[in-house]
Amino acid sequence: TASPSLGEEPHKKPTPPPEDPYLLWRLDAVRKRTREIPQNVWERIRNGQKWTWNEYPDQVIIQEENLINWPRYLSAALNTPEWLDLGFTNRVRREGFDYPFKADQKGNTWAWDQRTRFRATTKWKVFRAQLEFQGANSGEKADTDIVGSSAFNAANIQQLFASMTLQNFLETGLRTDLHVGRINMDIGSRRLVARSRFPNTAQPFDGIHLRVAETDQWFFRAFFTEVVADNNTRNRFGLFTNGGNYFWGLSYENSHFSW
């Protein structure tokens, strides 16, 4: 048998290299972040209202959706930056009647009215931009007894506009808001024109809107728009459903005298 020669060391197993402390630290950090991700997401969602802005660009022309704060769970879950806001809302309502109440109606009619709205808003200095989608349906055909333009339309672009807000226009102390694009409006304390609360759909307008105001005292509005047709049941975005009817005017409200 062969024997080790003089001066030759016995065979030894190679020792593993010493562990890299930096690598171990990085692995521990990755594992820690992985464990924290679900917890952080749910924690942000539970505090979703913290992602709500103090004011939105359509807040001076409509009141409905700003009095009822949209849940900002989507913004919270995605941890959106301060300049981006995402909102999502959905409602389902069961409605109908057992006996006809119009001469041309027959039998009873029931429907599930469902409405989904999504909006994305961004801001930079005095400028704002907003996109709002709306999808409304009843699970029925659009020409049945109670289902019509107030309950059903395609996935329309409800609002799509750019705006500019000057808090102190030309050092006059007057706030000025300019909106250009597709908007919704409340006029005359919602008595003249209003973004619908009960119906599934709302009336959009394409045009320009100017508002000049002295805070908590008075405001003046001027607008020139084209009415978006409310019978869209096929056009998937509703961008080109204008009926050629124009709506324009001036509005002034004063809060100096309380009743």
CA–CA separation, 144 vs 150, rounded Å?
A: 12
Q: How far is CA 244 from CA 32, 77, 145, 155, 229, in A?
A: 60, 42, 27, 21, 9
Statement: residue 163 has pLDDT above 90: yes
**Contact by Cβ (8 Å): 163, 183:** no
Residue 146's pLDDT is what? 46
Residue ranges per domain, the chain?
A: 52-254
pLDDT digits (tens, 9 = 90+) for 71-118: 788 888 888 888 999 988 888 887 777 777 777 767 777 777 788 889
CB atoms within 10 A of CB 257: 5
pLDDT digits (tens, 9 = 90+) for 14-47: 555 556 677 777 788 777 766 665 567 777 777 7
Which pairs from 64-67 meet CB under 8 Å and 24+ separation?
64/186, 64/194, 64/195, 64/197, 65/195
Residue 142's pLDDT is what? 46
Q: Which residues of 148-163 are buried (b: 16+ CB within 10 A; e: fewer)?
A: bbbbbbbbbbbbbbeb
Tokens 């005298």 belong to 257
User: What is the mean predicted confidence (pLDDT) over 214-219?
Assistant: 85
Please provide the DSSP assignment of 191-222 as one string: TSB---SSSS----EEEEEEEEEETTTEEEEE
pLDDT digits (tens, 9 = 90+) for 172-213: 989 999 999 999 999 877 778 888 777 777 888 999 999 999
CA–CA separation, 119 vs 130, rounded Å?
A: 7
Name the phi and psi angles at 196, rounded to 5.
-60, 140
**Contact by Cβ (8 Å): 52, 71:** no
